[in-house]
Structure 1
């Protein structure tokens, strides 16, 4: 569900009403891309953020229980290679669940910089609907959306 309104997105793009379905899909994608880059979720207001954070403990508990069940099932496997794979899948599922919980726990309220970054990404998606552009000179544009998001990014990794 988009945090930025479709009306603002349509106005930003100066899109026609018949483009609304496409714009909504691209808006959802641009917001998700921003959240993935930030390694955290963002919400419309503090109430929505607080509601999301309220479920973090339960989500982590459920992930831990699912991991224990998966580890137990893996340990009963007789084939060594398959057992190792099942154990790795269980560890990976737990790590992903914890990462998702952390993204909510470290969530934030949408601010003008994040909104602008999402709208920039949306504009790029809307203007460049194909992966290949022919008949032009290729020029790399600075990634302004990443520059707007960078101060809010956490756990950048290597």
Structure 2
């Protein structure tokens, strides 16, 4: 379920009521893309953020328990190649789970800039079914949403 109200999204797009299901799906995708870009989750209000953060310790413990179980299964495997592959899967699953925990720990309450970026992304998804425009030449469409999201991004790496 999206943080941004569907009615705001519909008004932003000047969309018709019959487009509501498509707009909702694309709004969910735009918000998820923004959260992935930011490496953090955003929430409607302080209560939602607090509730999400309250579950962080449990999620870490669940991830560690799942990892320990996966390692135990992997170590029981006789074939060295399969055992290495299973251990790699266990490590990757733990890393993914901890990344998701970190995204919640770095959570932020949605603000006008994030909302605008998501609506820009939504508008792009709604209006353009392709990543490029081909009118004799090929041109990639610029995405202003990244510029709006950049100040809120964490853990960018190299």
* TM-score interval, normalised by the smaller of the two chains: over 0.9
> 2:152 — aligned with what?
152
CA distance in 1, matches of 2:106, 2:132: 37
Stretches of structure 2 that go unaligned for 5 or more consecutive residues are none
Verify: 1:77 aligned to 2:77, yes or no.
yes
Contact (CA 8 Å) 2:26, 2:122: kept in 1 or not? Answer: yes
Unaligned 5+ residue runs, structure 1? none
After TM superposition, give the deviation of residue 73 of structure 1 in Å: 1.1
Instruction: Tell whether the 8 Å contact from 2:133 to 2:139 is kept in structure 1 after alignment.
Output: no
Q: Distance in 2 between matches of 1:130 and 1:25?
A: 17
Partner SS, residue 61 of structure 2? helix
What is the CA-CA distance between 1:143 and the residue it aligns to? 2.4
Give, in whole Å, the separation in 2 of the partners of 1:131 and 1:113: 23
Counterpart of 1:48 in structure 2 is 48
- Deviation per residue, 1:9-28 (Å, 9 max, x gap): 00000011111110000000
- The within-5 A match list for 1:117-136 is 117-130=117-130, 133-135=133-135
With normalisation by structure 2, the TM-score equals: 0.95
Please name the residue that 2:98 is paired with.
98
**How many Å separate the matches in 1 of 2:140 and 2:153?**
23
Contact 2:30 2:118 in 1 (8 A): yes
Alignment of 1:2-13 (within 5 A): 2-13=2-13
CA distance in 2 between partners of 1:90 and 1:28 (Å): 29
Count of residues paired in the alignment: 158
1:26 aligned partner: 26
The SS at the match of 1:143 is coil
- Distance in 2 (alpha carbons) for counterparts of 1:46 and 1:85: 42
